[in-house]
């Protein structure tokens, strides 16, 4: 067995850069501008990451709902600046950004090079703000040196809270979402609004991204806050950001794991009803979603019932929770022939996954032994695409699907895959 793309996450903590997190925090915001105090290549890395995501979405005919509105500018540090300092270079870059783009505010993200040479980015930001009369906010991270992607995103949001928000009169039954799940108009927002509607709530904002400066200023009027989950490092989670907002403006937030899978969605709805003091609506909310699950799964049973499936896992528990995938197979009434743990995982991660999967009732094997499970009759649900010709594969999404809608989307794609001839094979992407 060979992987088509061996993108393994084997560390308990990823080795990402904080700067793309700063840009992603405001990339879709009207009036924002982001400056990387870095070599030019750092800007190209961020650009290529985003292009890859856009190409992937277009290849799967996914609609790109939102344009990138925040220009990304680099100060273009060179070898000379690593010796003599780059503060003056940064001043010139800020002046260029102000004159060219006329932003409503600027976020500065320092690179590891800027951190090593000791440029006082905060002082340059204060100086520029005093001159241009426009908020210039320095994010307290330095590339790979500290904090990683999650810290860049978190501290960019925290800067906007501190500098832009003031107490507002509360608007009843309004919710602000914290984090990035493709923004307003996307499938994730639609699913969340579906879950919130029974409780009489409506979404009024996405923070920190997908908000203009004026919208950000009005967000403290929201009566409730919901952090969007994912596998962000706990110290820079959206739950921590929600706690910070509550401390500053008294906005309560939902302290519950993200609504992933059917059991996770039921637990989320139960926690939401309790947090709002509207427990009487919880049963109706769960019953409504239960009908969606039953109707969708029943429609696919002629294609899925009794069919063979294999689960392939190449991510540790910190980046992949298998429970929702097992729920998909149970709803489809498929037979799980075995679980393959790919070779890129460390022995410790293998052990953690085996412990988490105890009682599943299917053999758990390593990559080499798993070859015997990959037959023409079986479908592989996998975190990674493999190169086996003629094999029908459903590549699982990196981010856990949202609520019942996300679960049913994956279930529908599984049914589509099973309608194919076993000799045709091919890959269906679960996002």
| Confidence band for 15, pLDDT divided at 50, 70 and 90 | low
Of 264, 257, 336, the closest CA to residue 293 belongs to 264
351-364 average pLDDT score: 93
Higher pLDDT, 422 or 99: 99
Distance CA 376, CA 392 (A): 8
User: Do strands 171-178 and 222-227 pair parallel, antiparallel, or not at all (unpaired)?
Assistant: parallel
d(Cα 8, Cα 350) in Å, to the nearest integer? 13
Are 310 and 1 in contact, with CB atoms under 8 Å apart?
no
For position 422, what pLDDT does the model report?
67
- In a 3-state reduction of DSSP, which class is residue 422? coil
DSSP states along 199-228: TT-EEEEEESSS--HHHHHHGGGEEEEEE-
Distance CA(97)–CA(36), nearest Å, equals 11
pLDDT of residue 355: 94
171, 221 contact by CB (below 8 A): yes
> Mean pLDDT across the stretch 127-144?
96
Q: Which of 89-98, 100-109, 222-231, 403-412 has the lowest mean pLDDT?
A: 222-231
User: Which stretch of DSSP H or E encloses residue 404?
Assistant: helix 403-418
**Tokens 């037959």, residue located:** 375
User: pLDDT band at 387, cuts 50/70/90?
Assistant: confident
Q: Over 90: is that where the pLDDT of 125 sits?
A: yes
Question: Partners of 203 in the beta sheet?
Answer: 175
Which domains are delineated in the chain?
A: 18-164 (3.40.50.1980), 171-255 (3.40.50.1980), 290-429 (3.40.50)
Q: How far apart are CA 284 and CA 195, in angstroms?
A: 11
Q: Looking at residue 9, what is its pLDDT?
A: 42
Question: Residue 18 and residue 159: Cα distance in Å, rounded?
Answer: 15
pLDDT tens, 182-217? 778 778 888 999 999 999 999 999 999 999 999 999
Alpha helices in 182-317 (DSSP H): 187-197, 213-218, 238-249, 261-276, 282-304
Pairing of strands 136-142, 171-178: unpaired
Say how far apart CA 227 and CA 213 lie, in whole Å: 20
Average pLDDT, the chain: 88
Question: Does residue 41 contact residue 2 with C-beta atoms inside 8 Å?
Answer: no
d(CA 378, CA 370): 12
Number of C-beta neighbours around residue 55 at 10 A? 10
Tell me if residue 158 falls in helix, strand or coil: helix
pLDDT at 46 over 80: no
Cβ proximity of 132 and 102 under 8 Å: no
Q: What's the predicted TM-score (pTM) here? A: 0.86
365 token code pair: 């094997």
> Pick the residue with more confidence: 63 or 132?
132
């Amino acid at each position: 067995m060979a992987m088509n793309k061996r993108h393994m996450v084997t560390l308990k903590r990823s080795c990402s850069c904080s700067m793309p997190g700063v840009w992603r925090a405001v990339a879709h915001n009207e009036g924002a501008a982001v400056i990387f105090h870095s070599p030019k290549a750092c800007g190209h890395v961020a650009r290529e990451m985003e292009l890859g995501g856009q190409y992937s979405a277009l290849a799967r005919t996914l609609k790109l709902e939102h344009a990138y509105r925040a220009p990304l500018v680099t100060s273009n540090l060179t070898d000379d600046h690593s010796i003599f300092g780059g503060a003056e270079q940064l001043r010139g870059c800020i002046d260029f950004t102000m004159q060219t783009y006329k932003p409503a505010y600027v976020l500065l993200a320092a690179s590891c090079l800027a951190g090593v040479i000791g440029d006082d980015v905060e002082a340059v930001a204060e100086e520029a703000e005093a001159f241009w009369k426009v908020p210039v906010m320095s994010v307290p991270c330095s590339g790979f040196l500290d904090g990683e992607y999650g810290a860049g995103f978190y501290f960019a949001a925290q800067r906007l809270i501190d500098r832009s928000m003031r107490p507002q009169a509360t608007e009843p039954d309004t919710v602000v979402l914290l984090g990035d799940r493709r923004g307003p108009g996307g499938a994730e927002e639609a699913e969340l609004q579906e879950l919130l509607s029974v409780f009489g709530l409506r979404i009024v904002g996405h923070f920190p991204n997908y908000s203009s400066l004026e919208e950000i200023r009005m967000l403290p009027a929201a009566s409730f806050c919901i952090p969007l989950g994912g596998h962000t490092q706990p110290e820079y989670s959206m739950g921590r950001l929600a706690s910070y907002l509550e401390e500053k403006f008294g906005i309560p937030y939902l302290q519950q794991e993200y609504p992933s899978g059917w059991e996770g969605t039921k637990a989320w709805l139960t926690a939401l009803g309790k947090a709002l003091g509207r427990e009487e609506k919880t049963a109706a909310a769960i019953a409504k979603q239960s009908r969606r699950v039953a109707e969708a799964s029943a429609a696919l049973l002629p294609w899925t019932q009794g069919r063979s499936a294999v689960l392939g896992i190449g991510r540790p528990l910190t980046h992949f929770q298998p429970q929702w995938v097992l729920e998909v197979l149970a709803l489809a009434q498929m037979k799980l022939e075995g679980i393959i743990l790919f070779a890129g995982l460390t022995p410790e991660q293998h052990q953690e996954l085996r412990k988490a999967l105890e009682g599943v009732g299917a053999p758990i094997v390593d990559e080499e032994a798993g070859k015997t499970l990959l037959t023409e009759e079986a479908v592989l649900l996998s975190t990674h695409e493999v190169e086996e010709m003629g094999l029908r594969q459903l590549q699982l999404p990196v981010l856990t699907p949202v609520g019942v809608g996300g679960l049913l989307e994956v279930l529908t794609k599984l049914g589509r895959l099973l309608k194919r001839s076993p000799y045709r094979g091919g890959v269906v992407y679960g996002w």
